[in-house]
Structure 1
Amino acid sequence: MGTEHSPTVFAPRFAGKVVVVTAAGGGIGGATALRLAREGAQAVVAVDVLPAVDRIEAMIEIAGASAVCMKIDCTDEHAVAAAFDRILSRFGRVDVLVNGVGGGGGGRNTEFVESTSQTWRKIVDVTLLSTMLCTRQVVQGMRDRKYGKIVNIASSIALVPTPKMVEYASAKAGVIGFTRSLAVELAPFGVNVNAVSPGPIKTAATDSLPPDVLARSVNAVPMGRIGLPEEIASAIAYLASDEAAYVTGQNLAVNGGRALN
Structure 2
Amino acid sequence: MLEFAGKRAVVTGGTRGIGAAVVRQLVAGGAEVVATARSAGSGVPEGGTVVEADVRGRSGAEVVARAVTERLGGVDIVVHNVGGARPFVDSSAIPDEEWQDALDLNYLASVRLDSLLAPGMRERRSGAIVHVSSAAVFTPIGPFLHYIAAKAALESYSRGLSVELAPYGVRVNTVTPGRVATPGGEATRELWAQLEGASGDLGSPPLGRDGQADDIANAVLFLASERAGWLTGSNLVVDGGEYPRR
TM-score normalised to structure 1 length: 0.86
Q: What residue in structure 2 maps to residue 39 of structure 1?
A: 29
Q: Deviations over 1:14-73 (max 9, x none)?
A: 1100010010110000000000111111x10011113454242xx1x2xxxxx3211110
**CA displacement at 1:165 relative to structure 2:** 1.6
Q: What residue in structure 2 maps to residue 49 of structure 1?
A: 38
Does the 8 Å CA contact 1:157/1:199 hold for their aligned counterparts? yes
Does the 8 Å CA contact 2:53/2:63 hold for their aligned counterparts? no
Does the 8 Å CA contact 1:96/1:148 hold for their aligned counterparts? yes
User: Residues 146 and 223 (structure 1 numbering): CA distance in 2 closer, same or farther, change over 3 Å?
Assistant: same
Q: Which residue, 53, 58, 64 being the options, matches 1:77?
A: 58
Q: Check if 1:259 corresponds to 2:246.
A: no
Q: What residue in structure 2 maps to residue 104 of structure 1?
A: 85
Structure 2 stretches of 5 or more lacking a match? none
Structure 1 stretches of 5 or more lacking a match? 1-10, 62-66
CA–CA distance in 2 between the matches of 1:218 and 1:248? Answer: 33
User: Residues 52 and 194 (structure 1 numbering): CA distance in 2 closer, same or farther, change over 3 Å?
Assistant: farther
Range with bigger deviation, 150-159 or 163-172: 163-172
Q: How does 1:1-261 map to 2 (within 5 A)?
A: 12-41=2-31, 43-56=32-45, 59=46, 61=47, 67-105=48-86, 108-211=87-190, 212=193, 218-219=202-203, 221-261=205-245
User: Residues 210 and 101 (structure 1 numbering): CA distance in 2 closer, same or farther, change over 3 Å?
Assistant: closer
User: Residues 171 and 217 (structure 1 numbering): CA distance in 2 closer, same or farther, change over 3 Å?
Assistant: farther
Say which SS state the counterpart of residue 118 (structure 1) adopts.
Answer: helix
CA–CA distance in 2 between the matches of 1:182 and 1:137? Answer: 14
Does the 8 Å CA contact 1:159/1:259 hold for their aligned counterparts? yes
Instruction: Name the amino acid aligned to 2:30.
Output: G
Say which SS state the counterpart of residue 134 (structure 1) adopts.
Answer: helix
Say which SS state the counterpart of residue 119 (structure 1) adopts.
Answer: helix
User: Residues 221 and 235 (structure 1 numbering): CA distance in 2 closer, same or farther, change over 3 Å?
Assistant: same
Instruction: Name the amino acid aligned to 2:98.
Output: T
Identity across the alignment (%): 31
Does the 8 Å CA contact 1:32/1:236 hold for their aligned counterparts? yes
Which runs of at least 4 in structure 1 moved beyond 6 Å after TM superposition?
213-217
CA–CA distance in 2 between the matches of 1:129 and 1:198? Answer: 19
Q: What residue in structure 2 maps to residue 6 of structure 1?
A: none
**CA displacement at 1:210 relative to structure 2:** 4.3
TM-score normalised to structure 2 length: 0.91
Does the 8 Å CA contact 1:47/1:53 hold for their aligned counterparts? no
Say which SS state the counterpart of residue 209 (structure 1) adopts.
Answer: helix
CA–CA distance in 2 between the matches of 1:217 and 1:21? Answer: 31
CA–CA distance in 2 between the matches of 1:246 and 1:215? Answer: 44
Aligned length: 240
Instruction: Name the amino acid aligned to 1:95.
Output: D
Say which SS state the counterpart of residue 55 (structure 2) adopts.
Answer: coil
